[in-house]
Every structure is written in C-alpha cells, then in structure tokens.
Structure 1
Amino acid sequence: MNLSKFTYAYERFGFVGFLNVLLGKIGIKFRLDNQLIRLISYHSKRVEKLTKKIIIGGFYKGTKLNLNKGWSRLDGASKYLGLYEYEVQDEISKIQKNRTIRKKYFVNIGAGDGFHALGLLKKKYFNKAILFEKDTQASDLLLTNAKINRLKNNIELFKEAKINFLNDFSLTHKLKDCLFLIDIEGDEFKLLNAKNLKLLNKSILVIEIHDFYQNPTPLKKKLKKYFKIKTVTTGMRDLSKYKILNEIHDNEKWLVVNEDRPKKMEWLICLPKN
C-alpha cells in the first residue's frame, strides 16, 4: 500500500483527508468535505443568495443564471460576481467589437449551464448561439436559463459534438461566420483533428486546453498551420468593488472567487491567418 498518499492527505486536511484516501482504497466513492471545501461552499451559497442568481459584474452583468450544483458548487460565486473565466469574456468581447473580424454566430462546444452563451447573447455580442452539451442535466438547466433570460429563440441546442459533426453543421451555418468556444475536458485533442481544422480554418477558435490529459504540443502545431495563436490564462482579480464581499475575512475572500481548477489553465485564442 502506498502510504505517501495517506501522509500527504493527512498533512493537508488532517483526519478527514486521511479518511477520504482510505475510503478510496476500499472502493467507496463517497467523500467527506474538508474544512476548505465547506468554506468555499458556504460562501458560494451566500453569494448566490445575495445576488439573487443574477450576474452582477463582468461582461455578462444582468444575466440570470441557475447553476448546476454538481459542477458549480465551488465556482458558483465567481460566476455570479462575473469573474469566472474573465479573460475568456474579455477576449471574445474584443473580437466582437472589432468590425473587421467579428463573427455572426457563437458556437459553444461544452456549453454547460450557459454561462458564456447566454451572457454573450444577453449583452448583444451575438444574436444567435449554437450549443453542444452532452450532459442531460446540464442541457436541461441551460434551456431553463435560456427561458428565464428570454433567449430560447436565440439558441439551437444539440447533444455531444461527434467527430464528424462539422459535415452536417456546415450545411446550415457557414463556418467562416462562427466563433467557437471549445471546453470539452480533454476531448479537444480528438475533435480538433487535421480534417476538422481544415474545415475551421476561417473560423475563430477559443480553446480551453486540458494539458493534464494529453500533451498539447501536437495540437498547437496543427493549429499554427491555419491560425495566429494567442495564449491567455487566469490573471488578476479586483475584489474591492464588490460590496457584498466587504464583511468576509481576507483569508476567505479569495476562496470565494476560485474556479475549482486542478492547476493553472490556458486558453488558445486562434484567429485565421487569411
């Protein structure tokens, strides 16, 4: 038995950490929340209540959002504050404000609860969004969120984007008119093969890279054939303007805006070369 995992877990989270490793070793999926998780979850619920489930900052301010409690238990506060993936919001906003490169359609592969798609539609960055989400619970929630924001007629919602989905997609929507946001937990390495990238060579791509699943170098090499690539990552967060955070202890305030990521993440902003 590898005792280093027990030692590491105990040093970080005490007996709860030790017990969670033990549960995993004997095949039990249930895990106890450590104090850190409980703090983040508590503040996330508090921010959700104070904001009344409306995004209060960032580029999507004013968008109403019900969150997937399975996915957004720990990053919910950052979404309601408008800080979640702020760099992605900023990059798409800049693109759409540039009349020479802006796109007609927003295509979100891995749309989740609709945070980006509905926020962009609500603020008139796009008039139409084509969304792909394979998780039934998430897609049902996305439809609910579209209804409460009066955006149901502005979206097309599909299930999983299969490897050959562009063959059918290009029959109804010109790919050169599309900005793609791709967040599919490592499947970007499979979906963005040579054939599909050739079809997408006039589109704009924003890709979240999950390099803990696969080495991204081969994908980046293929992308450079057609695109000028800019890399962005999570940057600074200014919490001073959020009055609802004023009474939270400084040690806990920064936990509120976490995005529940396993490591530092990168997004590739891919603009066509021609």
Structure 2
Amino acid sequence: MQYVPRAHGSEWAPKLLGTYECEIAPAIEEALTRKPRLFVNIGGGEGYYAVGLALRSPGVETVCFESSRRGRSMIRRLADHNDVVDRLRVFGTCNREALAATLSHGSRVFVLCDVEGAEWELLDPVAIPSLREADVLVELHEFRRPGVGEELIARFRATHSIESIAARSRSPEDCPIDLASLAPYRSTLLSEERPPGMSWLWMRAVAR
C-alpha cells in the first residue's frame, strides 16, 4: 500500500512497519475467509483499514465512517494513492440511523469499529437488528465507558461466538523487518501509545 505521510488519531510508524494492532490480524484474516460482501469501517482514521481492505478484497464493497473532516480528506487521499477511490465510500459521523441504513444494503457484513467509547451506543442489535448477522470486530474503550465490554458481550452472546483479544506490548520479533540499526529508537517506532488494559471483541455471527 502507498501510504500518506502522517496518521490521524493513531501512531504512524507501526503502520509502515506492519506491526499496527498486530493482535487483531488473525481475526481480520478469519473475517476475510468468511467471504464478506460488505466491509464497514467505523472510525476510519486516515484509512489504514478501509483502503487496506479495499486493496486486499477488490470484490468487497467498502464503507468508511470518520467524524473528522481532516480524517476524511486523508482517507480520500490514501484511496487515490492506491487507486481504490471507486471502491470506497466515505461518510462523516456514524450514528445508529446511518449504521442501520448501511447494513440494510448488504449481506455477509464485516464491521470494524473503533469509536472511542461510542461503541456502547452504536453496537446495539435491538436497535439495529442487522447486527445480529454481521461479524463485528470492536476495540473497547473501558477507560471512557467502564463496563462496555461486559455490556457488548451480553448483547451479542445469543447470536455470536465471542473472543476477547488483549492488547500487548511490542517486541522486535513483531516487526517483519530488521530494526537492529535503529535499536535506540526501536521501542518508540513500535509503540502505539495505548492506555493499559486495552482490548478488542471479535464477534462472529453464528447465523453466517
């Protein structure tokens, strides 16, 4: 992927090195084996996942929500750099109505959600029944909404197989390239500056 010169709302270097959120790489690979037809990225940043998935899976419709105007501009620029503009739709802030409308247009959906605590409001299968048949990978923000993980598990346990994935510190072995010559800066380059105790829920729809 041809990348933009900075990140939006996250660290830039780990994305270039291929270590960014490496904990969830197996979940994303599994999601792709389940043959989604629609990928919905909520909280797109500068487009790392939206553009990456558009490149990886050309036949999958990709929709990205990003509340920041600067972020949306960066997503479009990244999409242009990688010739996927025609396969990616970019919108502003995602609310329940927007998410419900988006999910109503697709089947076999993969949702990737990173919305700084708003996952509590958005990911509600009672308000948005289509979520019951969607695969959902969500970053939890317990430091903003204590108890959000337990709440989402309670909401989805009847319809999904749920796995918790804990964030962990990085080591040189995580990096696919040799950083020996940059040893004094290695920890800084690999760091994602996450609060302690971060995690994700990988929720696979049983109906799929």
Give the shorter-chain TM-score range.
0.7 to 0.9
The residue that corresponds to 1:154 in the other structure is 87
CA distance 1:147–1:192, shift in 2 (3 Å): same
Given that 2:125 and 2:131 are in contact with CA atoms closer than 8 Å, whether structure 1 keeps it comes out as no
Letter in 2 for 1:258: S
Q: 1:67 & 1:203 partners in 2: Cα distance? A: 33
Structure 1 residues 124, 192: CA separation in 2 closer, same or farther (over 3 Å shift)? closer
User: Against the structure 1 CA distance between its residues 126 and 109, is the aligned structure 2 distance closer, same or farther, given a 3 Å change threshold?
Assistant: farther
How much does 1:195 deviate? 2.2
Contact 1:68-1:141 within 8 A present in 2 as well: no
Name the CA shift for 1:125/1:269 in 2 (closer, same or farther; >3 Å): farther
- Larger fraction in helix: 1
1:248, CA displacement in angstroms?
A: 1.8
Equivalent pairs, count: 203
In terms of fraction of residues, the more strand-rich structure is 2
User: What amino acid is aligned across from residue 65 of structure 1 in structure 2?
Assistant: Y
Equivalence map 1:55-94=2 (5 Å): 63-68=1-6, 71-72=9-10, 75-94=11-30
Find the residue that maps to 1:201 and give its secondary structure. helix
Q: CA contact under 8 A between 2:125 and 2:132: conserved in structure 1?
A: no
- Shift of the 170–91 alpha-carbon distance from structure 1 to 2, 3 Å rule, reads closer
Residues 1:107 and 1:194: Cα distance change in structure 2 (over 3 Å): closer
Given that residues 100 and 128 in structure 2 are in contact (C-alpha distance below 8 angstroms), is that contact kept between their aligned partners in structure 1?
no
> Given that residues 105 and 126 in structure 1 are in contact (C-alpha distance below 8 angstroms), is that contact kept between their aligned partners in structure 2?
no
Structure 1 residues 136-169: Cα deviation after superposition (integer angstroms, max 9, x where no partner): 0000010000001000001011111112223422
SS at match of 2:80: helix
Q: Which has the higher relative contact order, 1 or 2, with Cα contacts under 8 A spaced 6 or more apart? A: 2
- The reply on whether 1:210 has 2:138 as its aligned counterpart is no
Mapped pair 1:249 → 2:180: no
Q: CA deviation at 1:127?
A: 3.1
Q: Which amino acid aligns with 1:184?
A: V
1:183 equivalent in alignment to 2:183: no
1:27 alignment counterpart: none
Given the superposition, is the C-alpha separation of residues 268 and 82 from structure 1 closer, same or farther in structure 2, using an over 3 Å criterion?
same
SS in 2 for 1:66: coil
Q: Which residues of 2 match residues 104-183 of structure 1 at below 5 A? A: 104-124=37-57, 127-171=60-104, 173-174=105-106, 176-183=107-114
Q: How many Å separate the matches in 1 of 2:13 and 2:151?
A: 35
Q: CA distance change for structure 1 residues 239 and 227 in 2, over 3 Å: closer, same or farther?
A: closer
Query: Which residue number corresponds to residue 258 of structure 1?
Result: 191
**Structure 2: gaps spanning 5 or more residues:** none
In 1, Cα distance between equivalents of 2:109 and 2:17: 28
Q: CA deviation at 1:122?
A: 1.6
Look up the SS of the partner of 1:199 in the other structure: helix
Residue identity (%): 23
* Mapped contact 1:181–1:206 kept (Cα < 8 A): yes
**Worse-superposed segment, 190-199 or 214-223:** 190-199
Paired residues of 1:197 and 1:223 also in contact (CA < 8 A): no
Whole-Å separation in 1 of the counterparts to 2:193 and 2:131: 31
Structure 2 CA distance for aligned equivalents of residues 67 and 191 of structure 1: 31
Deviations 1:143-198 (A, max 9, x none): 00000100000101111111222342244x22x32100000000000112242453
Q: Is residue 68–residue 138 contact of structure 1 (8 Å, CA) maintained in 2?
A: no
Matched residue of 2:132: which SS?
A: coil
Decide whether aligned partners of structure 1 residues 268 and 257 sit closer, same or farther in structure 2, where only a CA change above 3 A counts. Answer: same
Task: Provide the residue aligned with 1:95 in structure 2.
Answer: 31
- Contact kept in structure 2, 1:121 and 1:127, CA below 8 Å: yes
Partner Cα distance (1:85, 1:126) in 2: 24
